Chain A
Amino acid sequence: MKRLISLLVLVSVVAMACGQTQAPTGGGTSAPAAAKKTTLRLPEGAKITNTMDPGVSSGGNGLEQIQNMFEGLVYVDQVSGEIKPGQAEKWTISPDGITYTFNLRAGLKWSDGQPLTAKDFEYSWKRATDPATKSRYAQALWPVKGAEAFGTGKGTAEGMQAKATDDRTFVVTLERSTPFFMHLVATWTAYPIRKDTIDKNGDKWTLTKDSYISNGHYRLVEWKPEQSMTVEKNPNYWGDNNGPDTIVWTLFDDVATKSVIAYEAGEIDRGVLVGSDITRAKADANLSKEIKKFERQGSQWIVVDTTNPPLNNVKVRQALSLATDGKRLNEVVLKDAYFNSVSIVAPGIPGQKKENALGYDVAKAKQLMTEAGFPDGKGWPANVKFTFVGDAAESKALAEAVQGMWKSALGIDIVLDPMEAKAFDNWRSTRKDQPFHFYMNGWGSDYEDPNNWYNMLFHSKADFYYAHWKNAEFDKLVDSGLSENDPAKRKALYESADKILNTEAGYITVYHWARFDLIKPYISGLNHYRVLGRVQGYLVRVNK
């Protein structure tokens, strides 16, 4: 008994000793504040807050915090989508579209009060491109002359044509005319970062208040990994900020399920809704008033291997697309969690045209299948596989619904092939030279430009999803579109390409992306822009 008691004492001493070391970090955020100060409490995913380094981040979780604390030369307006002047007050583009000259605002400062100059941009752009930086998004700056060579280890930093000619002038020369380049200038990879803090702290510069020096509307107060992040207004920001005084993000492993609980418990001001919670919230008298649905510019597809029989027959691909009822999939199967399928490319991208889509027409689908040699599914090969990530109940429901639709409309059988997420990613990357039938995947815009879809995904040289689809005319149209500087001509070129894509290619759209939020009634101005939309604190008002 005595020994047991001493064991107990030991255990509690250990607990208390450990507790003491932890104590100073706790409770810091809940310190009493002046009555007028406002706080916005948001959820964020902890799992992939992989880095707060703008030059390294791939833009997943963590981007919202980076965007609130940093500002690039320009930014994308989170309501209109237009490019607006940020750290640069103006810029000029040479008539050939090759040379960009940015003029920085006078008196720009870092969050610690030090002056910010064009040299900081030169340093940051070159650092992000340097292969040793291990950037997950380096390709954003590759249109800059010499950047791809430097980034792939064949060139040097000096060879990269992004130069500060004086403290307020930053000149960038491109490899070739790139009409969407301003969108890339607005990405986080192109944000300025401070050389001295990185030299001093290495990879760990993002971890503490003193070393994480930024230049945006807010600056870091505290980051408790896997727990929370707190930011306050940056007094050295050049413009006004009428947003909340502080923003606190609670970091959840599974934002989708945990943030709703914390929201309902009154701990945060915004909850992320998915799956069955959407249905539940819609039926709830109180929650239903707090639901907001936002558009995300993205498409979810069934990708088809266009070289693998019988899917190499364009009539079969068209029949499958015509037999897929996107309206039913979204509204009935997925309880209206997304937006109904319109066409392969998401609405809003110049070139995308609703009329180009094949639509839903079972009679026509049956006829095409008969012409292709599979009347009522007769002669359809066995073991045609439909691969998808099986971890989520939603994708399973979707796959089963599509299987049922094709069976009843066309009389064909397909086999469902669920995979674990990472295993699926790996399997997909090996589809480059291995056959498949169908798999489910999606794409969302990185920037609102046709290049981000037609050229980067569907051009036969890109073939991002390994559908192995080749069409010389399509390639020619999107190649011309890429460097066409006249917006009207550019749009027409992509519209013609869009027609070919929808008629021939191997992508069957099942829905377009959406985001469901629960937002407390005392919050206004909280918006998600459809492209990489994140909450911008300075636009939000906490009326409490």
Chain B
Amino acid sequence: MTTYILRRVLWMIPSLLIVFTITFLLVHATPGGPWDESEKPLPEAVKQNLNKQYHLDDPLWKQYTDYLVNALHGDFGPSYRFVERSVTDIVQQTLPVSAQLGALAILFAVIVGIPLGALAAVKRNTWIDFTASLITVAGIASPPFVRISLLIVVFSLALPWLPSGGWEGIWDTRVILPTVALGMGPAALLARYTRSSLLETFTNDYMRTAQAKGLSPRAVVMYHAMKNALIPVVTVAGVTLANVITGSFFIERIYGVPGIGRMFIDSVTGRDYPLLLGLVLLFALLISVVNLIVDLSYALIDPRIRYQ
């Protein structure tokens, strides 16, 4: 087990380096630079000074190695667009917000998705099942930016119950719409998996045994079926997390949540090279770690899996 983890962690190093190199080359190959302004171009002399001050006139290989060496020392450089904050400052400021929103969205997905799927499986082929199917298909099929826009139109404009945007921490009403919008996709996914997995479990012999013992239908489902049915559900957690990360890009932007996903889009459109590279490295690291955790969790949950 330990060797396995060690091997996986060591593999992350070349993976991150490759991701970094490709991103570095891509951003520098993309036309347009941080000082190009479409409405009012900066004068040439000002641009030249900025290039010099930020070492953008250095040869590309030097910029590459400089960034890498600094990054290894924990310095991800200044942001070009947010003069008063370094990349590290921005990550420290925005990552907790996204983590809170993401955690709440996953919580929402689990609380809504799993019971919904279970209910659909137990009441199979009744109107409850069909309604649940309708909800989950809508959840899977609609992209996050459509969901958040619809929620704003309904709950902020048509029924003015909730604010139309912003962020004041997780104890404020402003957290509701982005959480629901972000969590709905994963919730639908979990519901579908729970339903099909439960239905499959129902066909097992031990289920018939449990029923034969005279257990109540509720106990059969809760203690015998769910435990095994949830194994494949947990395996989709990785996919769910990827959903939450990419979904947050749009939702944070549209709802005005000061999170890291919004910064990511900004850094691309603004050609903020250090911020973009820093965030790409961070996301790559996050996804690698989560994948590792998900892989390890298989072994914990499913006794049939062992890592050598």
Mark A residues whose CB is within 8 Å of B: 1, 3-4, 8, 11-12, 14-16, 18-19, 21-23, 25-27, 46-48, 50-53, 56, 58, 60, 131-132, 134-139, 151-153, 203-207, 224-228, 250-254, 258, 261-262, 264-267, 389, 420-429, 441-444, 464
With A1-B226, A226-B258, A389-B38 already in contact, the answer to whether A262 and B164 are too (CB < 8 A) is: yes
A sample of 22 inter-chain contacts (CB < 8 A) reads: A11-B103, A16-B170, A19-B169, A22-B170, A23-B171, A50-B83, A51-B82, A134-B54, A136-B46, A138-B46, A152-B49, A204-B84, A227-B167, A250-B165, A253-B256, A262-B164, A265-B164, A267-B164, A422-B270, A423-B31, A426-B31, A426-B36
Q: Which B residues touch A134, using CB under 8 A?
A: 49-50, 53-54, 83
B40 touching A444, Cβ below 8 Å: yes
Distance of A19 Cα from B97 Cα, bound (Å)? 8
Q: Which B residues touch A48, using CB under 8 A?
A: 81
Distance of A18 Cα from B83 Cα, bound (Å)? 26
A429 touching B41, Cβ below 8 Å: yes
Which A-chain residue is minimally distant from B106 (CB atoms)? Answer: A11
Q: Which B residues touch A58, using CB under 8 A?
A: 37, 40, 42
A253 touching B96, Cβ below 8 Å: no
Q: Which A residues touch B172, using CB under 8 A?
A: 26-27
Distance of A15 Cα from B258 Cα, bound (Å)? 16
**Contacting B36 at CB < 8 Å: which of A261, A262, A425?**
A425
| Most chain A CB within a 10 A radius of its CB, from B82, B152, B165 | B165
Which A-chain residue is minimally distant from B233 (CB atoms)? Answer: A4
A227 touching B253, Cβ below 8 Å: no
B38 touching A136, Cβ below 8 Å: no
Q: Which B residues touch A389, using CB under 8 A?
A: 38
Q: Which B residues touch A265, using CB under 8 A?
A: 156-157, 160, 163-164
Q: Which A residues touch B40, using CB under 8 A?
A: 58, 443-444
Shortest B28–chain A CB gap in Å is: 12
B100 touching A421, Cβ below 8 Å: no
Distance of A443 Cα from B37 Cα, bound (Å)? 12
B100 touching A19, Cβ below 8 Å: yes
Give the 6 A-B residue pairs with the shortest CB-CB distance, closest first: A422-B32, A425-B36, A51-B83, A26-B168, A226-B258, A26-B169
A4 touching B46, Cβ below 8 Å: no
Shortest A404–chain B CB gap in Å is: 24
Shortest A463–chain B CB gap in Å is: 11
With A47-B270, A132-B53, A420-B32 already in contact, the answer to whether A18 and B96 are too (CB < 8 A) is: yes
**B195 lies within 8 A of chain A by Cβ:** no
Q: Which A residues touch B168, using CB under 8 A?
A: 26-27
Distance of A92 Cα from B172 Cα, bound (Å)? 56
With A226-B262, A424-B32 given, name 4 new contacts (CB 8 A).
Answer: A131-B53, A204-B85, A225-B258, A250-B165
Q: Which A residues touch B41, using CB under 8 A?
A: 425, 428-429, 464
Shortest A273–chain B CB gap in Å is: 16
Shortest A206–chain B CB gap in Å is: 5
B169 touching A23, Cβ below 8 Å: yes
Q: Which B residues touch A152, using CB under 8 A?
A: 45, 49
Q: Which A residues touch B93, using CB under 8 A?
A: 225
Which B-chain residue is minimally distant from A24 (CB atoms)? Answer: B169
**B215 lies within 8 A of chain A by Cβ:** no
Shortest B266–chain A CB gap in Å is: 6
Shortest A204–chain B CB gap in Å is: 5
Shortest B98–chain A CB gap in Å is: 10
Distance of A47 Cα from B269 Cα, bound (Å)? 10
Which B-chain residue is minimally distant from A133 (CB atoms)? Answer: B53
Q: Which B residues touch A18, using CB under 8 A?
A: 96, 99-100, 103, 170
**B227 lies within 8 A of chain A by Cβ:** yes
- Taken residue by residue from 214 to 227, chain B's Cβ proximity to chain A (1 for < 8 Å, 0 otherwise) reads as 00000000010011
Which B-chain residue is minimally distant from A441 (CB atoms)? Answer: B38
A258 touching B165, Cβ below 8 Å: yes
B50 touching A136, Cβ below 8 Å: yes
Q: Which B residues touch A224, using CB under 8 A?
A: 258
Q: Which B residues touch A427, using CB under 8 A?
A: 31
Q: Which B residues touch A225, using CB under 8 A?
A: 82, 85, 93, 258
Distance of A316 Cα from B266 Cα, bound (Å)? 42
In this complex, how many residues of chain B approach chain A with their Cβ under 8 Å: the count is: 67
A252 touching B256, Cβ below 8 Å: yes
Distance of A46 Cα from B99 Cα, bound (Å)? 21
B160 touching A15, Cβ below 8 Å: no
With A27-B172, A261-B157, A425-B37 already in contact, the answer to whether A3 and B45 are too (CB < 8 A) is: no
A423 touching B170, Cβ below 8 Å: no
Which B-chain residue is minimally distant from A20 (CB atoms)? Answer: B169
Q: Which A residues touch B147, using CB under 8 A?
A: none
With A14-B99, A227-B166 already in contact, the answer to whether A53 and B83 are too (CB < 8 A) is: yes
Shortest A4–chain B CB gap in Å is: 6
**B104 lies within 8 A of chain A by Cβ:** yes
**Contacting A426 at CB < 8 Å: which of B33, B99, B106, B223?**
B33
- Taken residue by residue from 164 to 207, chain B's Cβ proximity to chain A (1 for < 8 Å, 0 otherwise) reads as 11111111100000000000000000000000000000000000
- Taken residue by residue from 62 to 76, chain B's Cβ proximity to chain A (1 for < 8 Å, 0 otherwise) reads as 000000000000000
Q: Which A residues touch B54, using CB under 8 A?
A: 134
Q: Which B residues touch A423, using CB under 8 A?
A: 30-32
**B60 lies within 8 A of chain A by Cβ:** no
With A15-B170, A50-B83, A425-B32 already in contact, the answer to whether A3 and B301 are too (CB < 8 A) is: yes
Distance of A23 Cα from B96 Cα, bound (Å)? 12
A131 touching B256, Cβ below 8 Å: no
Distance of A153 Cα from B254 Cα, bound (Å)? 43
Distance of A204 Cα from B36 Cα, bound (Å)? 24
Distance of A12 Cα from B179 Cα, bound (Å)? 13
Distance of A148 Cα from B10 Cα, bound (Å)? 53
Shortest A54–chain B CB gap in Å is: 12
With A27-B172, A53-B84, A203-B83 already in contact, the answer to whether A422 and B53 are too (CB < 8 A) is: no
B39 touching A262, Cβ below 8 Å: no
With A131-B53, A422-B31, A425-B32 already in contact, the answer to whether A22 and B164 are too (CB < 8 A) is: no
B83 touching A422, Cβ below 8 Å: no
Q: Which A residues touch B262, using CB under 8 A?
A: 226, 253
**B110 lies within 8 A of chain A by Cβ:** yes
A422 touching B269, Cβ below 8 Å: yes
Q: Which A residues touch B94, using CB under 8 A?
A: 226
Q: Which A residues touch B33, using CB under 8 A?
A: 422, 426
**B208 lies within 8 A of chain A by Cβ:** no
Q: Which B residues touch A25, using CB under 8 A?
A: 169
**B305 lies within 8 A of chain A by Cβ:** no
**B16 lies within 8 A of chain A by Cβ:** no
Shortest B307–chain A CB gap in Å is: 17
Q: Which A residues touch B163, using CB under 8 A?
A: 265, 267
Which A-chain residue is minimally distant from B32 (CB atoms)? Answer: A422
**Contacting A22 at CB < 8 Å: which of B46, B100, B110, B165?**
B100
Distance of A1 Cα from B38 Cα, bound (Å)? 56
Distance of A235 Cα from B54 Cα, bound (Å)? 39
With A15-B103, A225-B85 already in contact, the answer to whether A22 and B49 are too (CB < 8 A) is: no
Q: Which A residues touch B230, using CB under 8 A?
A: 1, 4
A8 touching B152, Cβ below 8 Å: no
Q: Which B residues touch A60, using CB under 8 A?
A: 37
With A4-B234, A19-B100, A207-B84 already in contact, the answer to whether A131 and B49 are too (CB < 8 A) is: yes
Distance of A21 Cα from B96 Cα, bound (Å)? 9
**B300 lies within 8 A of chain A by Cβ:** yes
B31 touching A15, Cβ below 8 Å: no
B42 touching A136, Cβ below 8 Å: yes
**B52 lies within 8 A of chain A by Cβ:** yes
Q: Which A residues touch B99, using CB under 8 A?
A: 14, 18
A8 touching B110, Cβ below 8 Å: yes
Q: Which B residues touch A253, using CB under 8 A?
A: 253-254, 256, 262, 266
